[in-house]
């Protein structure tokens, strides 16, 4: 590892860091600025021309203010270069045929393409990423190349590297439909995928047999890993050695994250370091003469290029390889004191090649980790007694220290992106990372040997397989313990500058003037964060109602002014999907909600209780209120069993009761009646009237005509409300004219799925709702809906703007 022996923080010593910061700032501005490429180009050329003219003239004038102005113009031009790069990148990556296909949803196409990756999702469905070579749509034949996602309903024998011709249907890429839901469209865009197709018929397959193609070598390496490792460890080995994570189950990934070892499953700087480490041992043989240094760099470049090819030229490996070559250059040419500056050079190269990398979590984590190590670790090392650094346990101790420093330095990013922090990460890393330094090179060597001598490679790989088995058992066991990880919530974005200044206080510990400046800034930021927290506490709290978009189902979250949380229904369940995991839990996690004070299940149909089992297994639930209607379904039985297992109270509610949840609001139960009316669970829905100040919300579950008539009979004029959660997804039998004449809502929200098989919302129900003059919202059209009430008025919150 290259560290600075006497770090100082004069920006003149680290010009690449300054340029990287300005370039990154320009990319960030350009990404959010609605400016055309030509306009940015004109401004950039104008600034460069003005600066050049001033620079020439100032050779005669020799005026200090002109020198300062030219310097500012130079720095501004770097920002403009970043803006130009991001605009150029966005404009150049979309082919004309992609633009046509994006507006041709559900059309038939014929495609000739190369398979990049193939895997099965959590529901067992086969998926593939392809590079399209040729496209036929209507009368259009396009030879333009682009990436696409291929969906297969029935399994096909296709492998990475195969060339396939098939007919397909263009499937629109779903937008983010809930505030904190996984953004599938952005996820695909980050991989430069804009088009998604569903395979209708596979016309032909040409198996890849070209050994000059990296696809063949990658597929061959993956097969050798399967041969060398057991069924339990092969998916981990594929991720560990080649970054192939498609075979890893979701629970395994979560387990590694909670154990603080998720970084070893993403091939990046750590793995490149394992490969470069043996090369560094022989560096002294190269640096004695100029030719030797050049040969050393070329050999390293070849090694890293080959490894990048085996990993599919993943962005993280390419980024780590650039940094490895630059650091090795620093070692060979005695540039170690400028290791911080070399990090800036690596960032500039990466951003110039692909400015969108700035917004990738991998870029942010890797460069932040390197800078934290280079700035903070030398200070910590000097603070350790000499005797501690030479003992036999120095290596594991330093591993713990490095892991702790990195985890501490990356804390804001970890909380912002993941909302969880591993408490045993430093110790798990000290236990396994040093051994991985032997396992990774040995396993890769065994893969190479197995290509010629399979039996020998298998036997030599037995220690690596045993090690991965032990590590996997440790991870699965430890992640199941609640104390090994904790949920964290990013209370303020000011935590980022606060954390940066705090890290720089440590980095400048031996430089009193700078240390005190950064310490004063840190204390000021702490004061601002605290004042912001106090202001938020004193500010009057609103009632917030979120109607989730869960497709053809129902789920609404109520957050009361005193911080209580109530969930009314839990969405849809079907094989491979439930709204609890996909929609509700991400929302709760993002908002720092780890307890539901009450869950109200209107009735036991799967489109209303679909997520309850996942919720019971993940968050604390104080009590479940239901209609008391016993239903014969496996999902209903599992929810009752899990509630009993988790010791969650399940209480039946009836008309006329009220729920004691928060004294600032009133939950009145208007249905069902204490007596039985027929056998339809919909007509036994729990109906809740939520009152906050002078505003009232009515949630009716799947109540139909019969229950609406009973509500009119029992409550009449008291049904006059402001917000109606429309019953039964807008079916013809709900929202009757008589009922609407009593409730007279100002806002009516219908939860339903787009193009659902029931034909909801029915035009008769919509017509009746329109006659009330209400503001009508439909989750199928408007996505999730968020409303807030201050006790006097109800306002819609535009969460997706």
Q: Does the pLDDT at position 7 exceed 50?
A: no
Q: What percent of the chain has pLDDT over 90?
A: 50
* Domain membership flag for residue 714: yes
Q: Which of 386-395, 565-574, 688-697, 710-719 has the lowest mean pLDDT?
A: 386-395
- Residue that is last in its domain, among 32, 62, 92: 92
Count how many domains the chain has: 4
Q: Which of 44-48, 60-64, 341-345 has the lowest mean pLDDT?
A: 60-64
Contact 768, 737 (CB under 8 A): yes
The half-sphere exposure of 550 on its side-chain side, counting CA atoms within 13 A, is 33
Q: What is the pLDDT of residue 61?
A: 74
Could you tell me the pLDDT band of residue 12, with boundaries at 50, 70 and 90? Answer: low
Digit-coded pLDDT (tens) for 272-330: 877 777 776 766 666 667 777 788 788 888 888 888 888 888 777 877 888 788 877 77
71 and 163 together in one domain:
no
* Domain membership flag for residue 674: yes
Matching residue, tokens 């189902």? 553
Residue 34 makes CB contacts below 8 A (sequence gap 6+) with none
Could you tell me the pLDDT band of residue 361, with boundaries at 50, 70 and 90? Answer: confident
Contact 778, 750 (CB under 8 A): yes
> How many whole angstroms separate alpha carbon 704 and alpha carbon 697?
18
Strand-pair partners of 195: 148
Chain-centre distance for alpha carbon 460: 38
- Residue that is last in its domain, among 208, 233, 266: 208
* Domain membership flag for residue 723: yes
- Note if the pTM is more than 0.85: no
Backbone angles phi, psi at 570, to 5 degrees: -130, 20
- What's 235-294 look like in SS3? HHHHHHHHCCCCCCCHHHHHHHHHCCCHHHHCCCHHHHHHHHHHHHHCHHHCCCCHHHHH
* Domain membership flag for residue 264: no
Q: Does the pLDDT at position 210 exceed 60?
A: yes
Q: Which of 210-214, 493-497, 771-775, 778-782 has the lowest mean pLDDT?
A: 210-214
Q: Which of 369-378, 598-607, 757-766 has the lowest mean pLDDT?
A: 369-378
755 and 693 together in one domain:
yes
* Domain membership flag for residue 471: no
Q: Does the pLDDT at position 562 exceed 50?
A: yes
516 and 637 together in one domain:
no
595 and 556 together in one domain:
yes
* Domain membership flag for residue 428: no
Backbone angles phi, psi at 665, to 5 degrees: -135, 165
CATH number, domain of 114, equals 2.40.50.140
Q: What is the mean pLDDT of residues 477-485?
A: 85
Q: Does the pLDDT at position 2 exceed 50?
A: no
- Residue that is last in its domain, among 165, 183, 208: 208
Q: Does the pLDDT at position 493 exceed 50?
A: yes
* Domain membership flag for residue 301: no
> How many whole angstroms separate alpha carbon 72 and alpha carbon 468?
54
70 and 193 together in one domain:
no
697 and 593 together in one domain:
yes
583 and 639 together in one domain:
yes
Q: Does the pLDDT at position 3 exceed 50?
A: no
604 and 673 together in one domain:
yes
CATH number, domain of 612, equals 3.60.15.10
Q: What is the pLDDT of residue 678?
A: 65
* Domain membership flag for residue 566: yes
Could you tell me the pLDDT band of residue 336, with boundaries at 50, 70 and 90? Answer: low
> What range defines the domain where residue 32 resides?
15-92
3-state secondary structure of 105: coil
519 and 596 together in one domain:
no
503 and 554 together in one domain:
no
780 and 636 together in one domain:
yes
708 and 729 together in one domain:
yes
């Amino acid at each position: 590892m290259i560290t600075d022996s006497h770090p100082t923080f004069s920006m003149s010593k680290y010009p690449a860091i300054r340029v990287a910061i300005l370039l990154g700032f320009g990319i960030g501005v350009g990404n959010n600025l609605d400016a055309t490429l030509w306009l940015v180009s004109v401004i950039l050329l104008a600034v460069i021309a003005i600066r050049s003219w001033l620079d020439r003239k100032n050779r005669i004038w020799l005026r200090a203010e002109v020198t300062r102005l030219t310097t500012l113009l130079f720095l501004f031009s770097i920002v403009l270069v970043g803006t130009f790069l991001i605009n150029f990148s966005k404009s150049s990556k979309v082919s004309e045929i992609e633009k046509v296909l994006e507006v041709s949803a559900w059309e038939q196409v014929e495609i000739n393409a190369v398979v990049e990756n193939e895997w099965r999702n959590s529901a067992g469905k086969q998926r593939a990423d392809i590079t399209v070579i040729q496209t036929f749509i209507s009368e259009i034949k396009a030879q333009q190349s682009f990436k696409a996602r291929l969906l297969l309903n029935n399994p096909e024998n296709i492998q990475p590297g195969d060339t396939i011709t098939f007919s397909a249907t263009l499937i629109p890429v779903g937008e983010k439909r809930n505030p904190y839901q996984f953004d599938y469209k952005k996820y695909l865009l980050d991989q430069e995928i804009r088009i998604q197709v569903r395979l209708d018929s596979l016309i032909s397959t040409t198996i890849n047999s070209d050994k000059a193609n990296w696809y063949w070598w990658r597929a061959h390496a993956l097969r050798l890993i399967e041969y060398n490792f057991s069924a339990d460890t092969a998916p981990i080995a594929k991720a560990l050695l080649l970054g192939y994570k498609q075979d890893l189950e979701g629970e395994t990934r979560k387990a590694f994250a909670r154990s603080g070892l998720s970084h070893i499953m993403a091939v990046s700087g750590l793995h490149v370091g394992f490969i470069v480490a043996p090369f560094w041992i022989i560096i002294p043989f190269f640096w004695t003469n100029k030719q030797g240094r050049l040969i050393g760099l070329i050999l390293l470049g070849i090694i890293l290029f080959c490894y990048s090819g085996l990993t599919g030229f993943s962005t993280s490996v390419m980024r780590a390889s650039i940094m490895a070559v630059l650091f090795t250059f620093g070692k060979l040419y005695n540039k170690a004191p400028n290791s911080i500056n070399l990090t800036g050079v690596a960032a500039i190269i990466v951003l110039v090649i692909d400015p969108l990398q700035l917004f990738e979590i991998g870029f942010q984590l890797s460069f932040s980790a390197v800078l934290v190590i280079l700035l903070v670790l030398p200070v910590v090392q000097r603070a350790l007694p000499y005797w501690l650094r030479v003992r036999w346990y120095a290596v594991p101790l330093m591993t713990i220290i490095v892991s702790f420093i990195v985890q501490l330095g990356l804390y804001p990013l970890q909380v912002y992106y993941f909302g969880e922090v591993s408490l045993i990460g430093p110790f798990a890393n000290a236990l396994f990372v040093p051994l991985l330094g032997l396992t990774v090179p040995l396993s890769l060597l065994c893969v190479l040997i197995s290509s010629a001598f399979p039996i020998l490679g298998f036997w030599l790989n037995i220690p690596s397989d045993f090690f991965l088995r032990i590590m996997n058992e440790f991870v699965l066991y430890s992640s199941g313990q609640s104390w090994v990880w904790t949920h964290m919530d990013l209370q303020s974005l000011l935590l980022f500058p606060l954390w940066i200044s705090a890290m720089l206080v440590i980095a400048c510990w031996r430089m009193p003037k700078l240390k005190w400046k950064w310490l004063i800034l840190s204390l000021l930021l702490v004061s601002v964060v605290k004042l912001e927290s106090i202001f938020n506490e004193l500010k009057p709290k609103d009632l917030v109602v979120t109607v989730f978009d869960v497709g053809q189902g129902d789920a609404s979250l109520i957050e009361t002014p005193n911080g209580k949380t109530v969930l009314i229904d839990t969405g849809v369940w079907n094989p491979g999907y439930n709204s609890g995991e996909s929609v509700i839990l991400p929302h709760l996690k993002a908002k720092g909600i780890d307890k539901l004070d009450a869950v109200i299940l209107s009735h036991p149909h799967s489109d209303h209780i679909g997520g309850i089992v996942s919720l019971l297994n993940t968050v604390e639930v104080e009590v479940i209120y239901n209609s008391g209607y016993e239903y014969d379904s496996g999902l209903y039985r599992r929810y009752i069993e899990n509630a009993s297992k988790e010791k969650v109270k399940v209480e039946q509610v009836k008309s006329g009761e009220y729920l004691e949840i928060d004294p600032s609001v009133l939950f009145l139960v208007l249905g069902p009646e204490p007596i039985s009316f027929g056998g339809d669970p919909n007509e036994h829905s729990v109906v809740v009237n939520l009152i906050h100040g002078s505003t009232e919300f009515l949630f009716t579950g799947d109540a139909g005509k019969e229950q609406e008539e009973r509500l009119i009979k029992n409550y009449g004029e008291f049904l006059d409300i402001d917000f109606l959660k429309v019953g039964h997804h807008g079916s013809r039998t709900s929202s009757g004219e008589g009922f609407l004449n009593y409730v007279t809502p100002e806002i009516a929200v219908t939860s339903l799925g787009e193009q659902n098989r029931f034909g909801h919302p029915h035009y008769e129900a919509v017509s009746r709702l329109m006659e009330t003059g209400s503001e009508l919202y439909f989750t199928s059209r408007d996505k999730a809906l968020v409303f807030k009430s201050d006790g006097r008025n109800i306002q819609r919150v535009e969460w997706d703007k």
